[in-house]
Amino acid sequence: MPTREPTRDKTFAPSPATVLAPTDHEAKSVPIWIARDASWVRETPLSDAQRAWAAAAGFKGIGNKHLLIPDSDGSLAGIAFGIGEPRDPMARPELQLGMLAGALPPGLYHLASGVQDAELAGVAWGLGAYRFRRYKAENGGVPPPSAQLKLPSDASLYRVLATVEGVWLGRDLINTPAGDLGPQELEDAARILAERHGAGIASIVGEELIVRNFPMIHAVGRASTRPPRLIDLTWGRGDAPRVTLVGKGICFDTGGLDIKPASAMLLMKKDMGGAAAALALAHMIMANALDVRLRVLIPAAENSIAGNAFRPGDVVKSRAGKTVEIGNTDAEGRLVLADALALADEERPDTLVSFATLTGAARVALGPELPPLYTDDDAFAGALATAGLRVGDPVWRMPLWSGYEALLDSPVADMNNVSDSPFAGSVTAALFLRRFVKRARRFAHLDIYGWRPGPKPLGPKGAEVHAARAVFEVLRAERGQQ
């Protein structure tokens, strides 16, 4: 396990190290006490005056509220944080601590009670502290001084920072407007990450996609002035278990000739959220030196409108040799993923995982915070669900229901890219992807949203790399890292 602290580069700016501190930090730190009910007053080392202060403030230790407790000299003596008896199944004290990171005054704090998993608490603190400031004028986008958490001696600051950095990277990529993050810029981010970890990276760009047999990636991206590409990152020893991540990198989605209404385009900068999640997870894997042979494939394109755009009714041949009738140009994500999955499948990976902001139907079924998980591997599904719930990155298994395969039938091609039924849109999209995976030992697809509609303890409104931490926890456990 590495012991050095991660180096910094322009991919990660600012550093999560500004909100997390090592155990031996020399400055005096302020204690945080977890309160579950009114009994916290008796169980916490407070003076009579401080107890009177809490009573006067009406603080009862419930409702995700916190209380600043003064010392006799007017300085800050401690923080009481009330979590009560939450209804949210993920509302462990460690996870709720994320909300304090942006709510407390600048200073150094430590966990004094009520926390069993200090590393998870540190991750939650770091995720809750995230803010996207690239376009903020004040201080040149540099964040103001923040509350900093000092981790206890039994927690690895390195591991915590590796996870938080990965998530911050992914969030930064999703939050960046498409005008500043096209296929080339997404490749640039992947190259910076590869250089940092000593990974190999290559790309296939523009017309070369046709020459190298990635016709569906080319078809989706050919109408844009910014050429489509397939980004291919590799890392790790060649004979280690093979883990391949595929992330949808549609940097902006107009819907193509089946154009989206304006309201549906407002968040389409996030349509590369699958790529962001894959890169976030890749950073966690490489920073923690998991003993795997990692491969990350990102089909990156813009789904634009021009005279050479692919059309409804066109038939496109895939890398796998199957032909696809285009029933809707706004179902472009599954097309680029299919070519990337076919490539990934050719080397028979032990684990193949795809991340994609793929369907609105997934949001109708499970909402924005709970991504559907599709896999035929029961053990993998159970491990992902358990890990996700534990670390506050939940997933929910949905069925790869073969009875719906016929919904993808086409009278003129091997398949259609959409069903003409209004039902089971997320399931049929997952079934479409599964058709391009034949050799992988296990395959999972995550239909993520890539966005948080409102602030939560683990982050502000905005970008989120759903399911990346859940998958990492499973891979870490399988490789024997605790």
Residues annotated as part of the active site: 260, 334
Give the residue from 174, 160, 178 showing the smallest Cα distance to 118.
160
Give the residue from 322, 467, 299 showing the smallest Cα distance to 383.
467
Query: What pairing do the DSSP bridges indicate for beta strands 442-447 and 372-375?
Result: antiparallel
Place of tokens 């945080």: 32
Place of tokens 């009114």: 38
The Cβ-side half-sphere exposure at 88, using a 13 Å CA radius, reads 19
Q: Token digits for 237?
A: 């020893």
Alpha-carbon distance 193 to 424, whole Å?
A: 37
Alpha helices in 222-300 (DSSP H): 262-265, 273-287
| Under 8 Å between Cβ of 413 and 432 | no
Give the residue from 392, 170, 394, 384 showing the smallest Cα distance to 281.
170
| Under 8 Å between Cβ of 97 and 136 | no
Place of tokens 């004028």: 137
Query: Coil, helix or strand for 334?
Result: helix
Cα 388 to Cα 310, 330, 364, 462, 482, distances in angstroms: 38, 30, 21, 20, 16
